[in-house]
Amino acid sequence: MSLIEDYAAVAGEEIIERLRQLAREFEGRTVVHVNSTRTGGGVAEILAKLVPLSRELGIDARWEVIAGEGAFYECTKAMHNALQGSPVDIPPRLWQAYENTNAANADALRERLEEADFVIIHDPQPALLLRHCPNRKGKWIWRCHIDVSRPHRPVWRYMRPVVSAYDASVFSLAAFAHDLGHPAYVVPPSIDPLGAKNGELPDDELVAVRERFGLDPERRLIAQISRFDRFKDPVGVIQAYRLTRRFAPGLQLVLAGGGAADDPEGAAVLEDVRAAAGDDADIHVLELPPNDDRTVNALQRLADIVLQKSTREGFGLTVTEAMWKGRPVIGGDTGGIRLQIFDHRTGFRVSTPEGAALRLRYLFHHRELAATMGVTAREYVRNRFLITRQLREYLTLQLALLHDARERIEIG
């Protein structure tokens, strides 16, 4: 089966037909995506599927990756944190590395980028390429995947004129958008339903994961699978578990996350979580290796209810992932979680550990309703948060730019 048939089977033939119709408008045009890594991270994960899918639809889509040295990545990591609001100042030495790396990559990519009809630059790392392509003929779009609603001002003062020079920008939520003097599109992120993290898993793999972590199949299981980060409130999840366990004896909790080893703050949070868990054998604190997507997938499927009790959140793709697996989700009432969880429909939004405990008890008491919510959650994700929708929106906004961003465009 072709990739496009695989997606049609999951997303629906109607969605694919719409994509085919949009794609016809791109005959003879080239689209180039540029980011800073081929593997690892959500952007690479999406591009790895988005580009082949575009090509199967007949679009001449390409994916270029810029390369840099240590100082460049040091700079872009600091930029990433600063643009998300951390008061990080970047020394001139690192800015220089950022500029030099973009200039060097522009030398290698210039011809392809200047000839392309659309260039989509992902995140701040390659954003300076535009300055080095003075003879560009196509539309350049800056795709911002991070929450830049409250950026650290000195860094934003540097980046703002850089990204304002683009023909358009794309943000994941309206709340993240800035007035940059050009169209600012809102395109929520998406999941790949066929990837390791969200594809179907065989039963024996689920059993193996359950046995690996000593989970009892006869007892209820709740899980939060997310980075060990204070904004994800893992200690609050333990409090909710304890409040619930009095009414759900034998309840098991999995708190799984990755990346704490190379993140000093993550390590501190993990330590707090382990301290809060104490010697409770039914709290399983799991530090997963990076990109252990199949284990994440399995744990989400093994859980009866998934939590994402964030106190601050960008979009919250972990919520989307759990919903896709047909699980009701209890999530913090914040950020993009509000676009996904609707009380009594796909789960519950909560503000406190007490609220989470109340909703856990409710869902354990109303098993059939919980199952219905899971079904609804999966359908909601199918309609709104799959990669096919994201591709449709990318194609739509590119078409709109071709038509001078007019409000109404008629094709076909």
Chain residues in the site for another protein (CB under 8 A): 14, 18, 21-22, 171, 174-175, 177-179, 183-187, 342, 345-346, 376, 380, 383-384, 392-393, 396-397, 399-400, 405-412
Q: CB 308 → another protein: shortest distance, Å?
A: 18
Q: Which is nearer to another protein, 63 or 380 (CB)?
A: 380
What is the closest distance, in whole angstroms, from the C-beta atom of residue 380 to another protein in the complex?
7
Q: Whose structure tokens read 């001449």?
A: 60
- Beta-carbon contacts of 166 under 8 Å, excluding residues fewer than 6 positions away, are 121, 130, 140, 141, 142, 180, 182
Q: 52 or 183, CB closer to another protein?
A: 183
Closest contact distance (angstroms) between CB of 85 and another protein is: 17
State the Cα–Cα distance between residues 161 and 163, nearest whole angstrom: 6
Tokens of 211: 């046995």
Tokens of 270: 């993990």
Integer-rounded Cα radius of gyration of the chain = 22
Minimum distance from CB of 410 to another protein (Å)? 5
Q: Which is nearer to another protein, 20 or 38 (CB)?
A: 20
Residue in this structure with the two tokens 């950026």, named with its chain if needed: 151
DSSP letters spanning 365-387: H-HHHHHHHHHHHHHHHHHHSBH
Among residues 118 and 185, whose Cβ is nearest to another protein? 185
Q: How far is the CB of 344 from another protein (least distance, A)?
A: 8
What is the Cα–Cα distance from 1 to 116, expressed in whole angstroms? Answer: 30
Tokens of 150: 């409250």
CA 289 – CA 258 distance, rounded (Å): 6
**Which one, 114 or 393, has the nearer CB to another protein?**
393
DSSP reduced 3-state for 293: helix
Compute the distance between CA of residue 391 and CA of residue 55 in angstroms, rounded to an integer. 12
Q: Do 152 and 124 form a contact (C-beta atoms < 8 A)?
A: no
Instruction: State the minimum distance, in angstroms, from the CB of residue 180 to another protein.
Output: 8
CB-based contact 154:169 (threshold 8 Å): no
Q: Considering beta carbons, is residue 37 or 396 the nearer one to another protein?
A: 396
- Burial string for 235-258 (b: 16+ CB within 10 Å, else e) reads bbbbbbbbbbbeebeebbbbbbbb
Minimum gap (Å) between residue 404 Cβ and another protein: 11
The CB-of-411 to another protein minimum distance in angstroms stands at 6
Instruction: Rank residues 75 and 377 by Cβ distance to another protein and give the closer one.
Output: 377
Q: Nearer Cβ to another protein, position 121 or 341?
A: 341
Name which of 168 and 307 has its Cβ closer to another protein. Answer: 168
Task: State in angstroms the smallest separation of the CB of 403 from another protein.
Answer: 9
The neighbour count for residue 211, using CB atoms within 10 Å, is 10
Q: Could you tell me the smallest distance in angstroms from the CB atom of residue 297 to another protein?
A: 25
Measured at the CA of 364, the angle between CA 359 and CA 369, to 5 degrees, comes to 85
Could you give the CA distance from residue 333 to residue 338 in angstroms, rounded to a whole number? 6
Q: Residue 227 burial by CB count (10 A; 0-12/13-18/19+): exposed, middle or buried?
A: middle
> Which CB atom, from 28 or from 412, has the smaller least distance to another protein?
412
Residue partners of 242: CB distance under 8 A and separation at least 6: none
